[in-house]
A and B are shown apart, each in its own frame.
Chain A
């Protein structure tokens, strides 16, 4: 279970955010393997925005790994090989790798940048994700990501555009952020989830 500090944006305290309403912020207070958002108010919002800041691992190693997304259905994490995703990666110098990647029947969605580079050095992963149709049982749940990473600090910046989907038709009522290798821990993170209200 996540043990990160949590700050909730309750409906009575969000007037200063207009129609982009803060649902919850979670930030690092101890190393964890996953950060779960389990009260996403999918019955209210068609569109959610997630911001991710200073995503890094706690092991201090420089192996290339990126954050990923999994979704909850009826309170149960969907961790089967059911997700699809795609991303284009490019960097600000020739030191990084520019490439396309994608998968179907995957265990997660990822459009994120690596936090580190094995051969060059340490960095962090930052970015935003727009989620669509999480609460709509007649459409796939999907997301669009734009990631600009600090990786590798002082050497180059990595950028990725991408997205993904949970193709099966279901109501999604939670979001999990974890590393692509599930046993890895977050050594730092600040993740906020907003709902985009339209009325």
Chain B
């Protein structure tokens, strides 16, 4: 068994997005990241948008695909997908939640980057996978709140699998 080594984290309050720069390096091929958030506004169809930062730590807003499943504790599930999107969309109605995901190949300039993840709030579980469909070196990760309101608090942490 290898090691899961903590690399870097970022935290902030009263913001609509947060990024972790320079967390992907040539030292690891696979990463585990967590998102921990409390956000304001009404509980509505509000998403956490995952995007990656390129080799200059600039946010990339194209060439994403994703497929996800919203699992409501008490009602019908909902599937969401897109193959040419501006982000990897994790939809949750919850204003309080946590997410964890495996990220594969982000620093590899010859391969696509893949994400397998699951997250929970107080009324939903959501599971899904996503891809950045461009072979390029990625150096960071970003989450953006696209609803009405903001993150009252948000923390992103990144580990590398050795």
Binding site for B on A (CB under 8 A): 16-20, 46-47, 84-88, 100, 102-104, 111, 130, 132-133, 138-140, 142-146, 161-165, 167, 196-199
B73 and A85 contacting across the interface, CB-CB below 8 Å: yes
B73 and A87 contacting across the interface, CB-CB below 8 Å: no
B100 and A88 contacting across the interface, CB-CB below 8 Å: no
8 Å CB contact of B71 from A86, A133, A198, A199: A86
A198 and B127 contacting across the interface, CB-CB below 8 Å: no
Q: How far is the CB of A82 from chain B (nearest CB, A)?
A: 12
B118 and A19 contacting across the interface, CB-CB below 8 Å: no
9 other contacts beyond A85-B73, A197-B6, with CB at 8 A cut-off? Answer: A19-B3, A46-B36, A86-B77, A88-B71, A100-B76, A161-B69, A163-B125, A165-B121, A198-B157
Q: How far is the CA of A199 from the CA of B9 in the complex (A)?
A: 9
Residues of chain A with a CB closer than 8 A to B124's CB = 86
Smallest CB gap from B97: residue in A: A142
Q: How far is the CA of A144 from the CA of B72 in the complex (A)?
A: 13
Residues of chain B with a CB closer than 8 A to A198's CB = 6, 9, 157, 159
Binding site for A on B (CB under 8 A): 1-6, 9, 32, 34, 36, 38, 69, 71-77, 96-98, 100, 118-125, 127, 157, 159, 162
A130 and B123 contacting across the interface, CB-CB below 8 Å: no
A84 and B6 contacting across the interface, CB-CB below 8 Å: no
Smallest CB gap from A85: residue in B: B73
8 Å CB contact of B120 from A102, A143, A199: A143
The 4 closest A-B pairs by CB, nearest first: A18-B3, A163-B125, A132-B98, A144-B118
A140 and B100 contacting across the interface, CB-CB below 8 Å: no
Residues of chain A with a CB closer than 8 A to B1's CB = 17
Smallest CB gap from A140: residue in B: B122
A84 and B123 contacting across the interface, CB-CB below 8 Å: yes
8 Å CB contact of B98 from A19, A133, A161: A133
Residues of chain B with a CB closer than 8 A to A132's CB = 34, 36, 98, 100, 120
Q: How far is the CA of A50 from the CA of B14 in the complex (A)?
A: 33
Smallest CB gap from A102: residue in B: B73
